[in-house]
Structure formats: structure tokens, C-alpha cells
Structure 1
Amino acid sequence: MTGPAPPHPTISLGALTIRPATCEVIVGARRLVLEPQVMRVLAMLARDAGTVVSRDELVARCWDGRSVSEDAINRVISRLRKLAVETAAFELQTQRKVGYRLVAIPPVASAEEARPEANAPLPAARRSRWPAAAAAAALVLLLLGLAAWILSASLGARSATKSLAIHVTADRPGDRAGVQAFTSNLRQSLLRVRGLRLLDGAATGTPDLTIDGSFGSTRERPILLTLKDGSDGSAIWSGRFARSPLLLPEQQRAVAAAVRYVAVWLSDRGGGEPSAREPERSDVSALVADGLQQWQTGREKREQGKPSLAMEHYAVASAKADAALALDPESPRALMLRYQIDLLPAYPRPGETVPAFRNRLQRADEMLTRALSADPDDPAVLVAAARDFGRAADWAAAGALLRRAVRLGPSSADANTWYAFHLALVGRCREGLRYARKGVELDPGSSWRRRAIPRLMQGAGDTSGALRDYARLLRDDRANGVLAYETYLVALSGGRGRLAQLATFLRHDLWQGDPPPGILAVVDRAEAAAAHRDGRAAAFDRLLDQEFRATLENRKPVSASTAGDTMFALAYEYAHARRVDRALDALTRAHDAGSTYLPWALPFGSHEFPPPLRSDPRYRALWLTPTAWAELMRERETTSLATAASRS
């Protein structure tokens, strides 16, 4: 049996210095302490950097070959992925069904190191002997400049650190102590935002940003904050935070909102190193990793039409999250686990009362608020804040936070996947495919993440490719009713033949004539839609009406994660059934809920809602209000025209 990895001297990995003997990693001026088992795996992968190491070999060399659970391995790998994001010194790549490979990221030279010596002229003989070398160097610089320009165009150019000044005054003399405490909390959160430098009262010069406000400690005298552009004093954002018995303390809400909008403004501007933080407790990390695994399993069971099993896994995940928060109430990872558990599904769970459902969503909002204060630059926190903006139809702010999440966490599977979905929303599906594939590469075991690729393919107009990819996913996860339903919606846009092929594939190819109830429901739906195309409309109309009523009554709307998304899909089906009034009713409800469930069906998409709905004046008017929707449609139209011009 192979023994554990022996002690090893210091290892250099890109910008990272690894000290196995003391379980330390050093990057720049930061020192992080790892758990011994995490250090063993990191040291082993670092020594074999660039080589794929199987899970069996990992166990043999780092666990002395003894029996070890999948959760234990996954927990260590998860911690290393977080370390990769925190240090930007390496990537941990997963080779599906093979193992892991660690790839070092070369350190970036500082501007001072890259600058030629000012007073070191090249000797004349060398200048004349090596013109080719000079030309080659110029070519390299040109290519580097081109690469930087491309990166700037995709995610925004990284610029110098921005400065921010805070000026909060007291409404009354008795509030001065409160102002000091509030300003201190605000500064502590903003200090964790990369690319931001906080100015003190003695600083001179004009800051790039200012936060002005007044502090009140009663409901009648709330906290008022305004984020301003330092150059001209124009307001970027303002907020009012009054005391409420139903919400988190107003100071905490104000801090979270301020850091969120600072991050939006900095999205394409700020860079810089992450601030120094204490390493997360190993017991908290273990609880969060176990809880996340349970939550993911619960989501898979829900999609497979097994709600009772899903609830069992959700309950275990919930207990893990609560235990982690009891140990560290401000752990960003524990807060985000609790947030994810509480957020979905965005309709009552089986047996959940409406008040309990509302309390669950309110608790999710509280977790996000606390996480924004605790670590506003954590990629998972930025993604959650972006999704929150999206639900409020503030897609510009959502996109800004997602760009920042990808830039600060290039190895975050969630950041890449959700940015891909955002790009699909604004019509940039081909660009989004790159990020969708990156998300799958980082987390290949997630069925939900793998579905992003055919979604983006459909958005880019490749229906045949999307259906082929969906078929591959269904072979790997054949009981997933949500996946089958998505495939049906794509087939619906392709005509009767594809609907019939899908029904045959699901019933016979996957299940040899005996599909389970969740898959059989999709088979019946596809066959009814195909029959409707042949003039036999009764079965399809009856099926759609039944689900429409069930969704209105909060009775098991299983087609999507939210009732709004279910209404959007129903509107698409009603439109294909040529039932314009009911399609408009469902689409209006989805629109009011902020749903953009099928970006490829939105105006200027590859498979926009079909006529006669599209030619109805009420349909066109729907996308003109409110202003946020009209702006989104203009962006989609601009993207569509640019794409058409590039192809011609």
C-alpha cells in the first residue's frame, strides 16, 4: 500500500508559496492556514501540477489508502477550489470520470517590474546585431495588447483602485454614537471590496465615490444614504432604511445595500487583491460542504418528481446550515447555503402553508443581506445579489454584478453559469456558451449546470444541436422530469415531427415502453401537442387549462422553479396552440412576476412567440412597460442587428 505523501520542502506554485510542514500557503502579503488533509492533497497535486490524478490515487497517497467517503473527498476538493478563487494562483480542473488536474497560473508582473530601465541604453553592437529579436519583442507586445483589449471588451477593463469617502451625520446629538458604530460597520464591509480604497477625514483630493447620509435611530428618522459620483456629485443610488419589526435591523440592511451598489459601480472598473481574512473554521467548512451536497441531491430528487425524498434531503441540508451558522453566524458560505435552501422552490412546498412559504422567502432575503455585509466580493454572494436584481427587473445591475463575480471568481462554476444565462437574456447566446461550458468544466456532475449548454444552443438558433445535447443528458439522467420538459419546449419550437420523435425517444428508447409518471406526463404532453398540429386539439387544450388552473391555485406547479416561469412556458404553449387570449393572460402574469424563463422566446430571440400572438398589438405593448423591459428589448434588438450584420 502506498503511504501518505511524505513531508516536502516549500513548493512554489505560480504566485503561491506552499509550506506543507506548517500547513501554510503564502500569496503576496497574505498567509492562510489550511487543514492538514487539505494541505496533503494540495501538496500532492502541486507536485504533480499539469498531470491528471485519479480519485483512487488521491486516496492512496493522501489518505493512506484507507476507506474514505465521497463527501470527505468532495469537501477537500471544494476547499481547494475556494483557495484557487481566493489566491488566483492555480485552477483545479475536473476530468470527468478520471480525476483532477491542478494547473498553475503564472504570476502577473507588476508595472514596475515590466518597465524597462530608464537609463540603461543598449550597447550599439547589440542594437545592430539583433533587429529580429526587437521585432519579435514588438510582436509579442502587440499580441499581449490585443489580448488585453479582447479581455476588456468581454468583461471590462481592470483599472486602478478607486477611492471612496464616507460622510454620515447624526440627525440629533444623541445619535452620534450610533453614527460612529454604523460608519465603522460600513467601513468594515467596504474594506472587503476589491479595487476600493477608503479615505479618512484627513485625506485630500477628490474621491471617485462618496457615500453621504444622515443617521436616524427611529422609524420617523430613518437612515438615509446616497452614493454619488465624486467627480460631479451626481447621484448613483439612494436608499431609505427605516426600523421595521418584520425586517433585519435597518443598519444591517443599509450596509448591505450600500456595498451592493458600490460593487455594481465597480463592476467594470475595480481590480486589486482580496482583503486579508481569517481562514474559515474547518468544522464550519465541513458542515457547509455536507449541507450543499444534501441540497444538490434534494434538487435532483425534486426534478425527478420525488418531492418527499427531496424534502428529506432539504431537511438534512437545513440542519447542517443551522449548525454551521451556530458556530459562525457570519460565515459567508454558511449564509449562502441557508439562502439557497430557503430560496427554492419559489412556490409553496408540499404541505407548506402560505405564511410558512412567505417566512421562508423572507429568511432567504435576510441571509443574502447578512452575506453582503460579511463578504461582498464572494462570487456566490455576488451571484445571489445579481439574481435578486434580476427578479426586480434591474438587469443592468444584475449583469454588472455577474461580470464582477466572473472576474473575481473565474473558477466559480456558479458565476460562469449564471453569467451565461444573463448573456442569453440580453441576446448574446454564442458568447454565453463559452461561460456555460466553463461552468460545466468546473462542476461536471451537476445536471442543472449541464442543461445550460443546450439552452444557450437553442438561444443561438441551433435547435438540432440543442435536442442532441438534451438527448445525451437524458440518457445520463433519464428520470429527470424537468429536463424532459425543457426538451419538449425546444421540440415544440421545431414542429410536429420533432414532438413525435421526442415522445418515442422518451417512451421507448429510454424506458422500453414503461416510463415513470414524471416522464409519462411529458410524453403525453408531446403527443397531445403533435395531435394538435394535426387538427385534434381537445387533449392539448384540456392539459394546458388544467395546469393553468393548478398554477393559479398554487397546486404543484412542477414545470419550472417558480410559478412565473411556469406561466411563461404555458404562454409559449398556448401561443403554439393559437389560443391568443389565454397566451396573453399567462404571459402577462409571467411578465408581472419578472420571468424570462425562455430567453430564446423573447422578442428578438431565435424562436420568438409564434403568430398570431406576435402580431397582436397587446403582445407588442407588453414589452414596452415598464421602462426596464423596454430597455432590455432595445438591448436585445441591438444585439440581434449586430449579430445579423456580422454574419452578412
Structure 2
Amino acid sequence: MTVRAAASAIDLAKTAPFALGLATVLPSSCEISAAGQTVSVEPRVMQVLVALAQRQGETVTRDDLIAQCWRGVVVGEDAIQRCIGRLRKTAAVVGGFEIQTLNRVGYRLRQIPAAAEAANSPPAAGTHDKRPTIVVVDMQVFAAGSEVETFAQILAQDLSAALSLNRDLHVLAAHATVSRVAATKEWSSGAAGLRYIAQGTLRRMGEHYRLGFQLLEAASARMLWAHRVDLADIDTPSDDLVIDLAGRMSTEVMRREADRVLRSADELTAWECVVRANTAYQHISLDNLPFAISESRRAVQLDPNYAAAHAALANGLAASYEVGGARDVALVAESQFHCDRAMALDPNDPAVMMWVANALSMTTRPPKGLELARRAAELAPTNPIAHLYLARQYLFLGQPEEAMACLAEHERVAPLFPWQYFIAFNKAFAHFMAGRLDEAKSEIDRAALLNPGYAYTWIAKTILATMAGQSEEALEAVKRLRHLEGDDSLDLQLARIAHSYPEGPVRSTLQAIIADAWGRFPVN
């Protein structure tokens, strides 16, 4: 479309239709059409869209928008924000573009690369084809009785079904008559892309039965992981047993997949980029979060219709907003856009739900997303992150006991979860909220030991030590915090507390503790 001068008022009746990513924009009728559906917007909203599109990715200032869309009549920032918000919601539905906010400068429309082509064709080959494939083969039974054989067969089938709930895994169904040896020889050749084999044993041990499971590398038959459980009886396998085994196994597989994609020299798929992005949360910091954001952006560029990529990007942007002390509001707008886009693309994916819910918990006050987080945990009971993010929802809502229950479920299904410091920190937060200061201090000490680079741990240690009258320990915690983030980062620490607690005496008290300890620490 023809580029107008910045001050030229927009006449919708005389503006020709134009393409915008996935959509066809019809200014004269105030309609945007894409994928067989038409969205109507208000005339003022359409004028703002036209003004942004005319500048072809350049920044449009607030004054430019007033001149072009309000004919120079001075309006408040809220009027412009309403139009921008409406356009972002529309973009989440039709796809293909997003609107970026540049603080104190203006707005910029960015088309998402290849979105139009992706909308009219299936995802590019290789988008998700490197997800790991796993098979649960027939169990070996070393005990007499048909009931033992039946238990083993049902358990293998139920475990396969539970693993299939994890969309990060391809699960092959092993026929009940296929032997373990035949399965290994046939599938480990790579014809079916098999990467992992789960095999189990069941034997009689005196008055009880011993169930053992191993995870093997398909290519080499190397044992990667093993677990055993003693059972008093062998009636029908319980849901708790199946979920426990599937959760432990899934966590181990994804831990190994994360290591693989971080070391991979091959061309990455969108799925692998999302896995890489999520490794940043093993050490959350202002330095690591840009990696989560950049890898998620790469996933979105590889496949603009991959809902989990948008959800992962929304989560990374929201985390950067929170860890940055909730001071860069442009991150909130962009995170919300990708939340909306992810939910529009795949509202039934538990991973999408949990990441969107967590993003909302970090960017909205009071926090939103509880129902999404609950639904994610229900649909993916073997996914430890779903339970963790549900716990965080409860913490932000001031419900520590509900949070502790979720964290306990998380630990049950993923005792080897790689973010152990973050679990300890959230348990400390829950204990503190419930008034159990000794338990809170114990957990925060554990968090500091597991990841001394997590700034929030030292904020919490300063507060807990001060409340316990341990001034030397409080000063040591402040020393570590200042070493991590600089002597001039006090305002950042106070902003983080302000974002975590509603305005009131608790927030003021905690901020005063940090400020006082900060002031008492000598600067070299």
C-alpha cells in the first residue's frame, strides 16, 4: 500500500484493501478477514491499524497517531491504548502480525515471517519430528499365576497411555505378543525414530512383589535410569502407581532431551527451540532470560502456528518483566499478545495452558490464570511443571497450603526435577506466608545451596535472617545480592517486592528490611 505522510489524516473510505500477514484488511468496511473468518473493528481502531501498516515496520509516535486518526484533536493515552489493545486481540485471532510498544516513543507493527504461507499449508516438515519416541515393551514376570501376568500387561498398557498424555513425547504401542528382544532389534534401527525403551520386571519377594523399571537408550541398549517399587499385592495397577512411574520416566527423558538439544550442531526444529528456551529456568536471572526469549522467538519464526512456541515466548517475556521488577510494561503487552495467540491456536494443549497461566500470574494483579493452571494439571498429571505453576498461582493468591499440596505432587512425580532450587524457594515462600518461619528458612537455605545465583533467594534470606534477629547472616545475604546484581540495584530489589506483595504494611515492612540491610552494608 502507498505510504502517506505522517500528518495525513486517514480516510477509510478511500483506503484500498491490503494484505497483512495472514489477513486481508478491508478499511472501508472496517473488517479483517483470515482463515475463512471475518473480524469487525471500530473505525478508530481500523484507522490506527492503517496508520501503523502504512509505516511498514517503522515506529509511529503518539503525536502521529493523533494527527492521522483523531485529526489532531488531543486525546489521552488511554484512548490510544484501547485501540492498540483491540488490535492485539484481533492479531491473536487472525495471526500474522503483532504490535510492539516502545516506551515513551510509540508503536510499531511487525509482520510475523512466513505466517501467511504457514496458514495455508501444513507445518513444515521437521517442525516437530525430533520429539523423542519411547515404547513400553512387555514386562518380564518371575512369578507364577495368571493374575501376575494380567497385572504386568495392564501396567504396561496403562503406563503407555499415561506417557502419551505428554505432548513432548511420541509413544509407540507395543503389541502384547511382541517380545522385548524383537522390539529392541526392530525399533532401535531408527526406522521408527525410537530413542528410548522402557522395560519392566515383576518378581515375588517373600510376602510382597517387587516391580522394577528401566529406561534404555534404544540405539545402544545402555541403561539410563532405573526405579523399583515394592507392592503388597498385585490387584489392578493403581492410578497413583501409573502416574508416579510415568512422571519419573517423562522427567528423565526430557532432562536428557534438553542436554541433547543444547549440544546439537544440527538444524533445530521449533520443538527443539522451545526445549532449549526452557533450560533457562534452571538458573533464572536477568542474564539468562534473554536466551529463553530468543529461543522462543526462533520457534515462533520457524512455525508461526505452533501454539506452544507462542506460550513459551509469553512465559519468557513475563518472567523478564517480573525479574526486572515489573518496570518494563512493554513486555506485558507483548506477553499478552502471545498468550492470546497460543490459546487461539491450541486451547486444549496442557503445555500451552500452564505456560499461559504462569505468564498471567507474573503480569496481572490480582493474578489471573488459576483455572487454566488447574486444567493443565488435570490434563497432564505426569507433567511436573504443571503442578509447579499451579502452586505459584496459589502463592500469588495467598493460599499457601494449596500451594504446598501442589509442590508435594510435583515432587512425587518428578523427584529428579532439574529446577530443585526453584521448588525449595517456592516451598519457602509458602511456609513464610503461613507463618512457619523456621521451615521457610530451612527451605531458603537449601535453595541458596542449590543455586546461589538466584537473586530472589538472597532477598528472602535477608528478610528471614532479619526477622530472626540474625543480623550478621542478613548482612551476608545482602552482600551476596549486591555481588550478583550490583551496589546500585536497591531500587530493583524494592520493585521486585512491590510486584510480589500488594500495597500495604507487609510490603512496606519487607522493603524497609531490605533497604535497612542495604544501607548497613559497607561499600568497598
State TM-score, norm by structure 2: 0.46
If asked which structure has higher relative contact order (CA below 8 Å, sep 6+), I would say 2
State TM-score, norm by structure 1: 0.38
